[in-house]
């Protein structure tokens, strides 16, 4: 009798787990950020380690920031792929090496810190992105 009860509890637990996972998947697909339509104008400002700014204006149909960066004439970047997407290590030839001096490139959208990696950060017409060389204290 105990084996049947044990199996019953395991099956109920698995069903509950599947229902929870389905709910989380639904919530993510329902509330994830989505890019806006075509013909967008996006501003990008790069602030280097000397606080010197370089400004770009891009007209694009890109849906995500990484595509916008690729479309931006004169802007270059490099990075390494990690668990959370592409980690930008170099912008316009300047490397930020966190292991060396705790420097990194941070990304802002409309004055707020970006919540997503560049491959998932949606882009809307009129967005203002800032890429800033920062050093953690």
- Do 91 and 28 meet the contact criterion of CB atoms below 8 Å apart? no
Flag whether the pTM goes above 0.75. no
Average pLDDT (3-12) is 75
Q: Reply yes or no on whether the pLDDT at 34 is more than 50.
A: no
Percent residues over pLDDT 90 in the chain: 67
Is the domain defined by 40-135 classed in CATH 2.102.10.10? no
Closest to 38 measured CA to CA, from 64, 61, 66, 67: 61
- Over 80: is that where the pLDDT of 101 sits? yes
Q: What is the pLDDT of residues 67-89, one digit of tens each?
A: 999 999 999 999 999 888 899 99
Q: What residue spans define the domains of the chain?
A: 1-32, 40-135
The mean pLDDT value for 119-135 works out to 96
Strands 40-47 and 128-135: parallel
């Amino acid at each position: 009798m105990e084996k049947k009860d044990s199996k019953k509890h395991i099956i109920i637990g698995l069903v509950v787990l599947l229902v929870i996972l389905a709910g989380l998947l639904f919530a993510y697909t329902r509330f994830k950020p989505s890019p806006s339509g075509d013909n967008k104008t996006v501003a990008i400002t790069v602030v280097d380690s000397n606080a010197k700014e370089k400004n770009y204006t891009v007209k694009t149909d890109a849906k995500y920031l990484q595509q916008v960066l690729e479309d931006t004439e004169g802007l270059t970047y490099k990075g390494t792929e990690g668990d959370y997407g592409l980690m930008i290590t170099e912008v316009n030839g300047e490397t930020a090496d966190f292991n060396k001096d705790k420097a990194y490139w941070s990304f802002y959208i409309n004055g707020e810190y970006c919540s997503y990696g560049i491959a998932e950060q949606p882009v809307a017409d009129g967005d203002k992105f800032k890429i800033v060389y920062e050093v953690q204290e």
